[in-house]
Amino acid sequence: MAGWLGKAASVVMVFIATWGATILYWRNSGTVPTGMQMLAYLGLLPVGLSGAGFMLRSAARRGADVALAKAGDDASAPAKGEAGQHAQGAPQVPAVALLAGDLKLGLDLDPEALLATAAAPPRPSLDGRFRDNYNLPVRMSAAPDLDEFEVLQARQDGIDTAAHERRALALLQPVLERLLEAAFTALPEIEATEEVVVAGLRRRDEQRVENVLTLELLVPGSWSDALRPWVQDWLLQQARAVGLDARRFDVRITTLESARDVWPHLQRVIDALHASPTPRWHLLLASSSSIDANIISAWQATGVLATAKDPDGRVPGEGAAGVLLASAS
């Protein structure tokens, strides 16, 4: 019981420390986080830190167990039996493997530099492209030199697209490429097929190929219904372009209405991976942008936009992130 409480306390302390530092910065800077920022700072960052801590602790414990086993070779059989019963009664900590992760935000920083300045990241700058009701530039966190038409056009295959959709996918593409390469490396190779001759006929024996990878993208509810099937096909094409066999993975587009829905969804993914009796991988991606004239105008009309007169409002931002998870098996 004490071991379980200690592990739970360590997880709680990681979340408290991460959330405390993040919320303190947001309050002091007057920043209103976007859904992507909340996913990164309040979800992915503490989960990654907790997972790394558990993996390091498990490795140290295994080393200690091996050393104790060697030192206790001369111990009596009853003592070993008692130790075995004690080990069997120890609580098991659900865990998955975090194989890779990537992040691209409006701030022009790579993940390592962003973590180094997590306590006080750079403040979003004023952008003259958008102006408030007082004709003053709006403060926002927009990715510099981003080509919003890199993935989507204003009218893509008969579908009208919005600026926030185009920018979100343009931010997602480099994150997706890096994590797809990591997934391709992580998946076991398919055994080569062999040709055999049976009763004078040449036959190819193929290894059974199973679906072992789920590629999932979380998108805001503001994305158009017509665009989601197009994005699903685009993700499929991107995965096949890096060499992934389409029989080995499936693609999902999941719509979440608010940022607070992200953590329960991530927990369900972790629980499913932990319960899987066979090896499975899950590439979870998220992308969002509020750098859009229509969104900023709507915020301004409802009085929630951060301006020079009201610095405590929402600050438009954008970002994309992803993690590659694997079952412990």
Q: Note whether residue 303 is domain-resident.
A: yes
Q: What is the DSSP string of 7-34?
A: HHHHHHHHHHHHHHHHHHHHHHHT----
pLDDT at 171 exceeding the cut of 90:
yes
Can you name the residues that pair with 100 across neighbouring β-strands?
Answer: 324
Q: Is the pLDDT of residue 172 over 90?
A: yes
The per-residue pLDDT for 39 is 63
* 279: its two tokens: 């090896």
Averaged pLDDT for residues 17-37:
66
Q: Residue 81 pLDDT more than 70?
A: no
- Of 322, 325, 327, 314, give the one whose Cα is nearest residue 124: 314
The stretch 207-217 carries a mean pLDDT of: 87
* 119 contact partners, CB below 8 Å, separation of at least 6: 21, 25
pTM reported for the whole predicted model: 0.67
Residue-wise pLDDT for 87-143, tens only, equals: 454 445 457 899 999 988 887 777 777 778 777 777 888 888 888 888 889 989 899
Query: Would residue 12 count as lying in a domain?
Result: no
pLDDT at residue 316, rounded to an integer? 92
C-alpha dihedral, 271 to 264 to 110 to 280, nearest 10°: 20
The whole-angstrom separation of Cα 218 and Cα 265 is: 10
**Is the Cβ–Cβ distance between 290 and 34 less than 8 Å?**
yes
Mean pLDDT for the stretch of residues 268-275? 92
**Percent of the chain, pLDDT > 90?**
42
Which amino acid is residue 94, in one-letter code? P
Looking at the domain assignment, is residue 14 inside a domain?
no
Is pLDDT above 90 for 26?
no
Q: Give domain status of residue 153, yes or no.
A: yes
Domain region containing 110? 96-327
pLDDT digits (tens, 9 = 90+) for 317-329: 999 999 999 998 7
Summarize pLDDT for 214-244 with one digit per residue, the tens. Answer: 999 999 999 999 999 999 999 999 999 999 9
Going by pLDDT thresholds of 50, 70 and 90, the confidence category of residue 208 is confident
Look at residue 87 and give its three-state secondary structure.
helix
pLDDT of residue 1: 44
Q: Is residue 41 part of a domain?
A: no
d(CA 29, CA 139): 12
d(CA 284, CA 266): 8
Residue 81 counted as domain residue: no
User: Quick one: tokens of 141?
Assistant: 């966190």
The CA distance from 264 to 51, in Å, is: 17
* Angle in degrees, CA 74, 79, 85, rounded to 5: 130
Residue 249 inside a domain? The answer is: yes
Number of domains in the chain: 1
Task: Let me know if residue 40 belongs to a domain.
Answer: no
Q: What is the CATH number of the domain that holds 226?
A: 3.40.47
Q: First vs last Cα of the chain: how many Å apart?
A: 25
